Amino acid sequence: MILLAASTIEAEQKYVRDGVDVYSTHSNIYNSTETRSESISADITGHTLTITFNDNVGIAHIIIKDSNGVYIDRENVFSTPDYATFFINDAGYYRMDITLSNGEQYYGYFRVEN
């Protein structure tokens, strides 16, 4: 059983390290991996997070928080397709939350390394 737990932790660390996946939140169901957004993609390169809206999703409100839930940055994207770029100063784990004008919510976790 201990081996299984160690494998799960390693898989989660590798998942976070490899990039940013964007998932739908679905009304009050958090951490759901059922639906992945086709219209929104995100990429972390070094300390730069780029969130791209590939289709017209309307206005998007983006919030970036650190692992303690402290707000790092926020931005509104008023015209899509478009993109938003964030520079993250400190290494660590982060969460992005995206709320569209129609109420749909998306999130993703990422890690910034030194």
Q: Are strands 48-53 and 71-77 parallel, antiparallel or unpaired?
A: unpaired
The model's pTM is 0.72
> 112 phi and psi, to 5 degrees?
-110, 130
- Could you list the pLDDT tens digit for every one of the 114 residues in the chain? 444 433 333 333 333 445 677 776 543 333 344 444 568 888 899 999 999 988 888 899 999 999 999 999 999 999 889 999 999 999 999 999 999 888 888 888 999 998
Output the CA torsion 103→33→31→99 (10° steps). -20
Provide the 3-class DSSP secondary structure of residue 10: helix
Residue ranges and CATH numbers for the domains of the chain are: 2-112 (2.60.40.3080)
